[in-house]
Structure 1
Amino acid sequence: MNFSQSAQLAKRLDWVESTGSTNSDLIAAATADSAAYPDFSVLVTSEQTAGRGRSGREWQAPAGSSLFVSVLLRPTAVAATQFAWLPLIAGMSMANAISQFAGSQRAQVKWPNDVLIGDKKVCGVLSELLPDASGVVIGAGVNVFQSLEQLPVETATSLAVEKITIESLDDLLAAYLKNLRLHMNDFIALAGELGATDLHEQISMTCSSIGREVRVLLPNNQQFVGKAIAIDSIGRLVVQNESETRSVSVGDVVHLRHN
């Protein structure tokens, strides 16, 4: 498959016809030979047989129906404590890329790592730290060509279902990499300290969770229901109800209703 546009944007780009998981493969390769895999090395496929999302959830799709891409990021000037921003930056980058092809439709990010069109998931993002903490691999899987019948759940959608046309996977990947590089340059220039910055505002504006009533499913099997009011200075979702305000760093967010 031809990824000539995308190859010009990556330090290294490898295409495989099929693999278990692009994240696992890129982590293993970068760990075995770090010099051969610099910042912004990319691995891409259209078929994953052992893909996974957050919390190890299985993620598979019919062969050739999706774009699966993993990007190695080595933001050496940024403290690891700021890496929580990376899934949000990647999600925003993919949302912006999809929106370029979507006409009046707008893709947005559900905190922390899902890209939605309307209220339906079109892309998921998974970030994983290298074993030596020298970098992070950001994986993204986009439902591109699936029909409605091929989608695994009612809450999912695809570019085809939404009637969003792309000429090639290379066009979509190149748009994503351009956006990701742009936002990562800003992130690194700020040393990950987003605070009250333009990048923080852009992420907040792309996040459809803000302003919504949400249910947060916490790792300890507890739930917290309230209104998502902001993303704080280290990427946590701030949720408020009548009794308290919490800043959530880990958890699944369910959008309860439209405003």
Structure 2
Amino acid sequence: MSDLSYESVSSGFREAIRKQFSAEQFHYLPETGSTNDDLLDRIRRKKARHLDLVVTDLQHQGRGRRGDRWEAPSGRNLLFSLALKLEEPKAIWCRLPHLAAFVLGKVVESVLTISGKIQAKWPNDLLFDEKKLAGILVETVLVPEPYAVVGIGLNVNVRATEFPEELRAIATSIYELEKCESSRSFLLSEIISGFVSLYPNMLTNFDEVREWLHSRSVLSGRDIEVVTAEGTVRGIGAGLGEDGELIVNQGDHGNKSILSAERVLFR
């Protein structure tokens, strides 16, 4: 039986959080193709509202930001999507993936007892010791109303031996870091509380988010290669811009700001 239920997730909610996130907004599926697809479909059919959540134990067709597959053993990891109603101004919507990383990263850091801190790999991964711990995919829909769907895959209780062999050297989980299992319902509760408390205000008051990400950036000061739709950019990671865009120092060619990328490699 899954440990993911509204009762288990909401048991630690403050009253202010409970008022904004009710049982009707919690949608648990034992398995599904993609929680992002499920939630986008609900939004398009006018069956969703702000803070609706779809969570599953097993995802067959999950994807990363470039369409990469994301799949985990049933019940091991935290796989969910959250609907956020988008508000004006549109110019700051691009900050949402970074706010999601901030919320998720702070929750994970709060449960880790080992030394070290989460690393942020722009634009959508969280790492620990340069191994992937979580991925974030934000997708938007404008009709019938503007919404963002924040999809998160967090490696919680998966063992190293359960990763595909080609991922074992580059991926990790909270279990592998702590050497014990963690409560997925508690983690989800804390993440929901973070979004309810911080969205949308911290899209406008973005300095704390940007500083948190900058201080944990795995790309800063590193040789990086950024593959974009316009071509490949090479240089030294030089932090984040006002909206969370990646700054690449290209030496004599100056700095280049990148808002979106298909792939980021670092050495």
TM-score range, shorter chain: 0.7 to 0.9
* 3-state SS of paired residue (2:135): strand
* 3-state SS of paired residue (1:16): strand
Aligned to 1:231: 240
Structure 2 CA distance for aligned equivalents of residues 175 and 56 of structure 1: 28
Paired residues, number: 247
Percent identity over paired residues: 24
Higher mean C-alpha displacement, 156-165 vs 86-95: 156-165
Aligned to 1:21: 34
Q: What are the superposed Cα offsets for residues 10-62 of structure 1, whole Å, 9 maximum, x if unpaired?
A: 351111111100000001011102xx422211111121011011121111111
Aligned to 2:90: 80
Structure 1 CA distance for aligned equivalents of residues 236 and 9 of structure 2: 39
Superposed, 1:101-250 pairs within 5 Å as: 101-103=111-113, 104-132=115-143, 134-152=146-164, 153=167, 154-163=169-178, 165=180, 167-187=182-202, 190=204, 194=206, 197-220=207-230, 222-244=231-253, 245-250=255-260
Give the residue type in structure 2 aligned to 1:223. T
**Alignment check: 8 A CA contact 2:73 2:162 kept:** yes
The verdict on how the C-alpha distance between 1:85 and 1:166 changes in structure 2, with shifts beyond 3 A counting, is: farther
TM-score (normalizing by structure 1)? 0.87
Higher mean C-alpha displacement, 198-207 vs 156-165: 198-207
Structure 2 CA distance for aligned equivalents of residues 183 and 207 of structure 1: 21
The verdict on how the C-alpha distance between 1:210 and 1:40 changes in structure 2, with shifts beyond 3 A counting, is: farther
Aligned to 1:2: 5
Aligned to 2:107: 97
Structure 1 CA distance for aligned equivalents of residues 132 and 212 of structure 2: 20
Among 40, 45, 57, the residue aligned to 2:51: 40
Structure 2 CA distance for aligned equivalents of residues 59 and 158 of structure 1: 14
Unaligned runs of 5+ in 1: none
Structure richer in helix, relative to its length: 2
Structure 1 vs Structure 2 CA RMSD: 2.1
Structure 2 CA distance for aligned equivalents of residues 64 and 45 of structure 1: 8
The verdict on how the C-alpha distance between 1:115 and 1:199 changes in structure 2, with shifts beyond 3 A counting, is: closer
Superposed, 1:61-72 pairs within 5 Å as: 61-72=72-83
**Alignment check: 8 A CA contact 1:210 1:230 kept:** yes
